[in-house]
Amino acid sequence: MTQPVRAFFNEDTGERFYTSVDPLQHEPSVSVTSVLSTALPKQVYLMPWVAKVVAETAVEAMQDADIMDIMGVYGRGEDGLDYELLAEDLKQTWKWERDDAGDIGDETHIACEEIMRASKGDPAIAQAIIEGGTYSAAVINRLEHLLVWLQQHDVDVVDTEFTIYNDSYGYAGSCDLAAYVDNVPHLLDFKTGRVNPDAALQLVAYKYGEYTVDSNGNVHPMPFFKDMHKCECAVIDLKPTFCRVVQTDSSDAMFCIFIHLMSLRADWFGREQKNAMGAVTFDSRKVD
């Protein structure tokens, strides 16, 4: 993903943080996505997908590749194929596909931001931007389905790609879109990959932000701050063949779960996990 404005990575932990508006009063704010990736169990769907990609690539290589081409890359003389080298490359193929998908996701996010910001939700303007743009075919497929959503609903854009801060709890995050959808205030997030339930936690954290900061460091009230209790959250799921808008739970109870995850990240993963195991009181290997 592209790097949001005001964000940086902690090289030691790999977590993303956002610079504070007032460094003398507040420490850098941990990103919402880092809280979720640290505190939630690793997604179990990843390993079956990795196995699927590697297996499909191996089968495609056997079916489509010229054997002389394979021998030219992986051959080792009279001994035939260097299977270890071939296996090492096959093991990396899921990363290649992931990176390709990430590139398409980044390009799609940038395109959506441009279109929504310039059109303010007007489908005619959005269509003209798409037709006059230089987007790749993979991205245009997704944008055309986004256009159908704009044509079917009254969308009035309030802000795009803005950074939300909550100093009380010490977190921040970059929200893709704030808009009135059929006169209902919404915070929305574009997704081009798998849509997981933790999207609800991500969006509810945005909803309970205290203020926003633009790229110049200027502080603004939260969108819909006067009607925040009416604000709904949703994911715009953009795929090559369809666009779905999926509502997410943005209740007080969901926000409490996010705050508990923040505590889990700080207390367990941050400190207590390292100290949970004490001295060894018995070890059979040391018995005479």
| Cα–Cα distances in angstroms (integers) from residue 280 to residues 220, 277, 285, 286, in the given order | 54, 9, 12, 11
Q: Band the pLDDT of 59: cuts 50, 70, 90.
A: low
What are the tokens at 286?
A: 């040391």
More confident residue, 49 or 258: 258
What is the per-residue pLDDT for 194? 80
What is the per-residue pLDDT for 71? 46
What is the per-residue pLDDT for 98? 52
The residues spanned by each domain of the chain are 26-33+44-270
What is the per-residue pLDDT for 95? 56
Residue 152, judged by CB atoms within 10 A of its CB (0-12, 13-18, 19+), counts as exposed
What is the per-residue pLDDT for 99? 47
What is the per-residue pLDDT for 286? 87
More confident residue, 243 or 81: 243
Helix (H, G, I), strand (E, B) or coil at 36: helix
> Is the confidence at residue 32, as pLDDT, over 50?
yes
> Is the confidence at residue 207, as pLDDT, over 90?
yes
Is pTM beyond 0.85? Reply is no
Residue 188, amino acid: L
Q: Which residue has the tokens 């002389």?
A: 68
More confident residue, 180 or 195: 180
Residue 14, judged by CB atoms within 10 A of its CB (0-12, 13-18, 19+), counts as exposed
At 237-261, the pLDDT tens digits run 998 889 999 999 999 999 999 999 9
- Mean pLDDT (the chain) is 83
- pLDDT, mean of residues 82-101: 61
> Is the confidence at residue 186, as pLDDT, over 70?
yes
What is the per-residue pLDDT for 68? 42
> Is the confidence at residue 119, as pLDDT, over 90?
yes
Q: Which residue has the tokens 């005001």?
A: 6
* Nearest residue to 155 (alpha-carbon basis) of 192, 111, 117, 129: 117
Whether the Cβ atoms of residue 204 and residue 248 lie closer than 8 Å to each other? yes
Query: Which fold would CATH assign to domain 26-33+44-270?
Result: Trna Endonuclease; Chain: A, domain 1 (3.40.1350)
> Is the confidence at residue 170, as pLDDT, over 90?
yes
Which of 40-54, 140-154, 206-220 holds the top average pLDDT? 140-154
Q: Which residue has the tokens 């991500």?
A: 202
Q: Band the pLDDT of 81: cuts 50, 70, 90.
A: low
More confident residue, 84 or 134: 134
